Amino acid sequence: MIHCLHCHAETTNGLALCELCRRKAETILEVLPVYFRNLARWRPGRSGTSRPVPGSRVLWDGQVKSAGTGDRISDTLDETSNALITWARALVDDRPHLTRLLDRLTASRQAETVTEAQAVAWLCLGFERYLTSISTLDWCGEFVRDLSQHEERLQTLTPLVPGWYAGACRQVVGFDEDGAAVRCGAGTSVIPGLTWVTCGSCGATTYARDHLDVVLAEARGWLARPKPLAEAIVALVDTEASVPRLYDRIRQWANRGDLQPHHQIRRGYTWDFEQERMVVADEQVGHARYRMGDALDLVLRDTRSKKLTAVS
Ligand SMILES: [Zn+2]
Ligand SMILES: [Zn+2]
């Protein structure tokens, strides 16, 4: 008789992980890389995204402060990434024929041809693929427990990174005396990089694209440099899949004058020779930024014309 090494239930599949725990592991392996990728974009000091996330800063955690970077997101990402590598090594110890795969990943990481987020996605994909094989090993229960903890911690940090208001939650949570649906109504927000929205109140999960209209009302006026604009739009719009490609297009639009630049204005004064007195002369400072709504209109216009060409 075999018992599940994760939940101790008797298994019927001949493996040391029952069907339920196996499905749990699959779900974790699917969402963990998404949380990871989203949080990795907000690592302090990472090029492109500059400022640390305020809630992420560890001011005093009651521990000796020498460990870690002092940034909760960075530390958690490091720990998750290290844990996944450690489990991958354990798997390779038991399944030596997989050594070459792991070596290739390690080499790519060292050559920096893959990012840490890509490496994490790759590892999770690998674990998912060899889950049946893992389910026969004596550490499979511990593996699921550990993975689950890492996933939970990444999930807990996710709301700390900036998001946009995505409207009131429409989930039906009950019925009133007249039988009319009572909706949850809690405010939800889209997290850039995630394709879904989870309600913090009732836990209902919906597609980010279904919230697009509401998000746009909130985000239209957002001013940003081309790169963060591209990142945000790719997360929201299904038809855009590549940040670098959209980044290039946004810069082209800007060069052609299709996108109106916005500069920060600093109030200055200058001498007006004709009027022979000092006048207010506001000057532009800093790099041009562009409005999210303007960029999105161009993206959606291109999508529509692409669809029309496909039809005709
Ligand atoms: Zn189980
Ligand atoms: Zn809700």
- Please provide residue 100's backbone torsions phi and psi, each rounded to the nearest 5 degrees: -60, -40
- What pLDDT shows up at residue 69? 60
Ligand nearest to the CA of 5: 1
Q: How far is the CA of 135 from the centre of ligand 1 (A)?
A: 10
CA pair distance 254, 252, nearest whole angstrom: 5
Distance from residue 258's CA to the centre of ligand 2 (Å): 39
User: From the CA of 85, how far away is ligand 1's center (Å)?
Assistant: 24
Which residues have CB under 8 Å from 167's CB, separation 6+?
Answer: 187, 188, 211, 214, 215
pLDDT of residue 199: 82
pLDDT at 189: 76
Predicted confidence pLDDT, tens digits, the chain (312 residues): 789 999 999 888 889 999 999 999 998 998 898 788 878 866 655 433 344 454 444 443 333 344 456 677 888 999 999 999 999 999 999 999 999 999 999 999 999 888 898 899 999 999 999 999 999 999 999 999 999 999 999 888 876 665 667 778 888 888 988 888 899 887 777 775 567 788 878 888 888 778 877 777 667 777 778 987 887 788 778 788 788 999 999 999 999 999 988 876 666 667 777 877 777 776 666 788 898 889 989 998 887 777 666 655
Q: What is the number of the ligand closest to the CA of 198?
A: 2
Q: Check residue 211 and report its DSSP letter.
A: G
**165: CA distance to ligand 2 center in Å?**
13
Q: What pLDDT is recorded for position 256?
A: 94
How many angstroms separate the alpha carbon of residue 35 from the centre of ligand 2?
20
Structure-token match 């001498």, residue found: 271
Determine the distance separating the centroid of ligand 1 and the alpha carbon of 12, expressed in angstroms.
11
Query: How far is it, in rounded angstroms, from Cα 89 to Cα 94?
Result: 9
Q: For position 73, what pLDDT does the model report? A: 82
Q: What is the pLDDT of residue 163?
A: 64
Cα–ligand 1 centroid distance for 15 (angstroms): 10
Domain parsing of the chain, residue ranges: 19-59+67-160, 164-219, 223-311
Q: What is the CA radius of gyration of the chain?
A: 25
| Whole-angstrom distance, CA of residue 264 vs CA of residue 225 | 12
Helical H segments across 68-169, by residue range: 72-94, 99-110, 116-129, 131-134, 140-157
| Angstrom distances, CA of residue 134 to CA of 131, 143, 261 | 5, 9, 54
> In angstroms, what is the span from residue 297 Cα to ligand 1's centroid?
49
CB–CB of 31/148 below 8 Å? Answer: no
